[in-house]
């Protein structure tokens, strides 16, 4: 499904409200003046509010498991606003809150 591409300045949170940031956005492709994110980039999560009594702990990292099928960045699929992701160790998704709207991929 088509959707806006995520970039370094996009606001992305974990399901518990922690802020997620891409570790390695691609510096060669810019959208709104900021590097875009490819599926190969890992996300770090800071400030996850999930504190279980016993269990797997708060969200620490995340990976995109589904990304664009037609747009590639240095050989890797681009991450779109509707791309699926999984946080580790909780298994919950990332939630893109805000992104640029000028460049759309599918």
pTM of the model: 0.92
Please determine, for residue 54, whether its predicted confidence score (pLDDT) is greater than 80. Answer: no
Binning pLDDT at 50, 70 and 90, where does residue 53 land?
Answer: confident
Report CA-CA distances (Å) from 97 to 4, 28, 57.
12, 24, 23
Q: What is the CATH number of domain 3-96?
A: 2.60.200
Alpha-carbon gap, residue 42 to 56, rounded angstroms: 19
63-102 pLDDT per residue, tens: 999 999 999 999 999 999 999 999 999 999 999 999 999 9
Please determine, for residue 1, whether its predicted confidence score (pLDDT) is greater than 70. Answer: no
Domain ranges of the chain: 3-96
């Amino acid at each position: 499904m088509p959707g806006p591409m995520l970039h370094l300045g996009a606001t992305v949170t974990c399901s518990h409200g922690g802020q997620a940031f891409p570790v390695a956005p691609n510096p060669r492709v810019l959208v709104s003046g900021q590097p875009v994110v490819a599926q190969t980039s890992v996300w770090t999560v800071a400030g996850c509010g999930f504190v279980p009594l016993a269990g797997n702990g708060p969200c620490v990292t995340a990976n995109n498991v589904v990304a664009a099928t037609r747009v590639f960045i240095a050989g890797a699929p681009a991450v779109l606003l509707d791309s699926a992701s999984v946080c580790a160790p909780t298994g919950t998704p990332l939630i893109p809150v805000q992104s640029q709207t000028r460049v759309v991929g599918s």
